[in-house]
């Protein structure tokens, strides 16, 4: 088991929710992002997008512990998967503008702490990754 999988498995996901309720599937999806086939990674990313930042309309509490793991994976996955992770991160940045929940503020602070990463990704060869990075940065100002 990798350090990332250990990290995800050491989180008490029962304390968090996704758009669909229980967050117990989140660590499995995060693990697949790290070590699955590209097809499996894309499916896992889609499940995380649906559950953590549902249609960019709201973020669930499980987004908070998932965020550092997603950030740590962004440079280690294939480009198609990077696009999907960046879409999730854009959802986090858009939906964390609200102070409805304390985890919104924590997510926003974490995103702002990674401005250098997003600034680097603005120059990514993949136009979609670069565009998402630019959009995230615009949401953070």
pLDDT at 107: 92
Region 3-140: CATH code: 1.25.10.10
List pLDDT tens digits, range 96-119.
766 666 888 899 999 999 999 999
CA atoms within 13 A on the CB side of 61: 14
* Tens of pLDDT, residues 15-62: 999 999 999 999 999 999 999 999 999 999 999 999 999 888 889 999
Quick one: tokens of 76? 């280690």
- Residue 62, phi then psi, degrees to nearest 5: -65, -15
Confidence of residue 91 (pLDDT cuts 50, 70, 90): very high
* Sequence spans of domains, the chain: 3-140
Exposed, middle or buried by CB within 10 Å (0-12, 13-18, 19+), for 118? buried
Q: What are phi and psi of 101, to 5 degrees?
A: -130, 150
Q: In the chain, where does DSSP find H-type helix?
A: 3-9, 26-35, 38-52, 63-73, 79-95, 102-112, 115-121, 127-140
């Amino acid at each position: 088991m990798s350090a990332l999988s250990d990290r995800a498995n050491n989180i008490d996901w029962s304390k968090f929710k996704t758009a669909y309720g229980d967050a117990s599937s989140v660590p499995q999806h995060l693990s697949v992002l790290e070590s699955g086939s590209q097809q499996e990674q894309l499916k896992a990313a889609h499940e995380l997008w649906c559950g953590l930042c549902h249609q960019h309309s709201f973020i669930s509490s499980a987004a908070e512990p998932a965020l550092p793991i997603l950030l740590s994976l962004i440079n280690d996955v294939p480009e198609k998967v990077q696009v999907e992770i960046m879409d999730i991160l854009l959802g986090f940045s858009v939906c964390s503008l609200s102070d409805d929940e304390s985890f919104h503020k924590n997510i926003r602070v974490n995103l702002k702490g990674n401005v250098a990463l997003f600034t680097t990704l603005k120059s990514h060869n993949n136009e979609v990754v670069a565009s998402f990075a630019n959009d995230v940065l615009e949401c953070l100002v």
